[in-house]
Amino acid sequence: MELPSLDLNLVVVLHALLEERNVTRAGERVGLSQPGTSSALARLRRHFDDPLLERVGTVYELTPLAQALRGQLGSTMEQLQRVLAAQPRFDPATADRRFTVACSDSVLTVLGPGLVAAVTRAAPHVSLDLRSLDRRVVTDPLALLRDVDLLVVPRGLFSLPDVPSVELYRDRWVCATWRGNTAVGDRLSLADVGRARWVMPFQELLMASPADAALATLGVDRHCAVRVESFSLLDRLVVGTELLVLFHERLAGELTAHDLRVVELPVELPPITETAWSHPSRRLDPGHRWLVDVLTEVSAGLGQPQPAGLG
């Protein structure tokens, strides 16, 4: 594959020009004089056969081509920086680096304490940025993977067969209600599932979970009475109500054991397989491999989920 003949330094200037929309500010950003930046802009205009920046009154506006380039250059520059900054080895004892991990609050509750302890112990100068999920996890997961070092979500939310992934741990769905709820018995029919009102997480973000996908194949849709952007609060929100909830068994705590009872579903739901996903561009990054190894080791120490033991 042949690359177009364009100096990489010009790509840096192009990025600054499209972000700043001002020759002087772009030059200051990349360390060029105003004449040098103007000369670079002229070369870029010849290369793309497009003015890129057009004066409208007292300001510059991006041409349609420049707007399209700006949308692509951000992630391209980040990946280029990673490639050019690649090192043949990674020493956690001396590394000064920030790793970004995106996950749900369920994963953070289960893995967060162990991950933070393991990283700070082995790599005292490394920083962790633990982010919540955003809509791209279903709308554009590859774009989300470009912005983070690791994305931890269950298998089944998206299909990216060529994206590196490592299974971390499994969990189980528990269906429960407040132990004082007399509106349902200890076992639900499919009709009961459809009639019931549920506390449900992330309905606008994650769309249908694998559990709901399994129920949908039987023609059953759950009715969301309460929507919350949290997995770890689900069980607590049904106390004192006739609502039902599906929550992760590893999150069952003392309050759950005292105040809820298990309700058996009419169908066995698929297990939750929490998986770490990473962008293919990070395959050769030794620091990234170290982070995956640490997370895998922390996950291995979890063991099997213990029965919820609800009343």
Give the closest residue to 129 by CA, choosing from 146, 116, 142, 144: 116
Q: What is the radius of gyration, based on Cα positions, of the chain? A: 25
Residues 126-142: tens digit of each pLDDT: 999 999 988 888 888 98
Residues of the chain within CATH 1.10.10.10 domain(s) are: 8-84
Q: Which two tokens stand for residue 171?
A: 């969990």
Q: How many residues does the chain have?
A: 311
Task: Determine the Cα–Cα distance for residues 62 and 66; give it in Å rounded to an integer.
Answer: 5
End-to-end CA distance of the chain: 65
Residue 12 DSSP class: H
Residues 155-174: tens digit of each pLDDT: 887 778 889 999 999 999 98
* 44 neighbors 52 (Cβ within 8 angstroms): yes
More reliable by pLDDT, 274 or 268 = 274
CATH of domain 173-270: 3.40.190.10
Answer yes or no: is pLDDT of 310 > 60.
no
Q: Which CATH architecture has domain 8-84?
A: Orthogonal Bundle (1.10)
Task: Determine the Cα–Cα distance for residues 71 and 67; give it in Å rounded to an integer.
Answer: 6
Answer yes or no: is pLDDT of 3 > 50.
no
Q: Which two tokens stand for residue 212?
A: 């709901």
Count helices and strands in the chain by DSSP H and E runs: 11, 12
CATH of domain 98-165+277-300: 3.40.190.10
Residues of the chain within CATH 3.40.190.10 domain(s) are: 98-165+277-300, 173-270
